[in-house]
Structure 1
Amino acid sequence: MTSVIEKAASQGVHSLSPHLVCAGAADAIEFYKNAFGAEELMRLAGADGRIMHGCVRINGSSVMLVDEAPDWGLSGPKALGGTPVTLHLVVEDADAAAARAVEAGATLVMPVADMFWGDRYGLVEDPFGHRWSVSTPVREMSAEEIQMAAKDAMCGEAAAPA
């Protein structure tokens, strides 16, 4: 017997997927194609043309989308004054990924740089108010090494692990 998780996976949807509310979900789908190489899996538009449900795949992971609908309690980050959520995207080349996203219309929030935990990492905000970190692991580090590097980065001095 096929589990519900296996059934969803056969349709390209993971058992945990972000579901983004966007002012202009159709435009967001196109942006994600251009910025992150998304593959569109589904688009269901209502009679008024708004996206009732959309789904794309980015780096093998499903991301669902819906248009803002305040009457249904669906508001995107811009309507809410920002987002506390960052979507983390592991990529082959963080510099190229951030540049591609900016070229597609994202705003660079944090330039890509080498981070103390061993990744090249940067942060962009898409035109719909969602934040995306792009990260390329470049150096494997133990938990203890990361902790020491964090103390050095935050306090300016290396300290022994706790």
Structure 2
Amino acid sequence: MTQSEIQAIPEGMHTITPHLVVRDAGRAAEWYKEALGAQERGRVPLPGGKYMQIALWFGDSAVMLADEFSEAGILSPLAIGGTPVVLHLSTENVDALWQRAVDAGATVLQPLQEQFWGDRYGQLVDPFGYRWGLAQHVRDVDPDEIARQAAAMFGSEA
């Protein structure tokens, strides 16, 4: 294959792909497959049992995992006390996916319930320190109504 035939963004990938650093990437990959229905597409193992990369797919979206390498400053949420990032995962049956994740050991942060913006949504923390917002769109809501409800929720007028 010539350089001109190589795709800059590989087929099936999106412009932005999350790359999550976790403790024990092999175990994390198995948890994401069991709890959240991820499909594994490949691994790049390193000597000593760690992984440089494990490619997982959640529906049409890729997420890459890598092991922690603290000596190089590559740290997981467990090493730094949490994460401000929430990974939003849309699904066609949020109740079933939610239950799978909880049964597999996820911690509930925000209970699963219908939200004012039209999604059935809740937040979990996985055993590796990442926050997941699980969602299923259940109704369309006018953007002005969403803005009004958000302003009311956060204590200001729209």
Q: Secondary structure at 1:4's aligned position in 2? A: coil
Task: In structure 1, give the amino acid aligned to 2:146.
Answer: I
Give the aligned partner of residue 131 of structure 2.
131
Q: CA deviation at 1:53?
A: 1.1
Matched residue count: 154
- Looking at structure 2, the residues matched to 151 and 73 of structure 1 have their Cα atoms a distance apart, in angstroms, of 39
What TM-score comes out, normalization by structure 1 length?
0.88
More off after superposition, 52-61 vs 90-99: 90-99
Question: Is 1:107 aligned with 2:104?
Answer: no
Give the aligned partner of residue 42 of structure 2.
42
> Superposed, which structure 2 residues align to 1:46-57 within 5 Å?
46-57=46-57
Question: Is 1:4 aligned with 2:14?
Answer: no
Task: In structure 2, give the amino acid aligned to 1:55.
Answer: A
Q: Percent identity of the aligned residues?
A: 42
Structure 1's unaligned 5+ residue stretches are none
What TM-score comes out, normalization by structure 2 length?
0.90
Does the CA-based 8 Å contact 1:116-1:153 persist in structure 2? no
Give the aligned partner of residue 148 of structure 1.
148
Cα deviations by residue, 1:44-77 (Å, 9 ceiling, x for unpaired):
1111010111110012100001000011211000
Structure 2's unaligned 5+ residue stretches are none
